[in-house]
Amino acid sequence: MTPLTVTARNSPTGPVLQIIGELDCTTAPDLRELLATLALEPGQLLVLDLTRMEFCDSSGISALIAARNHVQAAQADIALAAVPVHTLRVLRVIGLDQVFRLLPGTGS
């Protein structure tokens, strides 16, 4: 099991969070907690860079949805960048590829 690490940086359009490791039932609450503290301005774009995310279970998907809800409450937007193939497959099956903006690389 690879622990979850989140690194943050700013871009001209808003924050970029790089999700590293496994986003699962053990680590998803940590991501939710971090996202709840993230201050966003209306119109900003939060990019979740998933390049180095190794695994994502249903709890991880739920944390991504919670992130979207937090961002929308701030009148901002969210995008998922470099979604791993296995996670992209799940997003497509459950229709979330139509809900999230998907970027090919590390975005913004």
CA distance 21 to 73: 27
pLDDT at 65: 97
pLDDT at 108: 43
Q: What residues contact residue 17 under an 8 Å CB cut-off, 6+ apart?
A: 6, 7, 8, 34, 46, 47, 48, 49
pLDDT at 105: 72
Give, for 11, the enclosing helix (H) or strand (E): strand 5-11
pLDDT at 107: 43
What is the reported pTM? 0.93
Domains of the chain: 5-103 (3.30.750.24)
Q: Which of 64, 44, 46, 51 is nearest to 105 (CA)?
A: 51
Both tokens of 45, joined, read 């774009």
- Report, as an integer, the average pLDDT of 75-85: 97
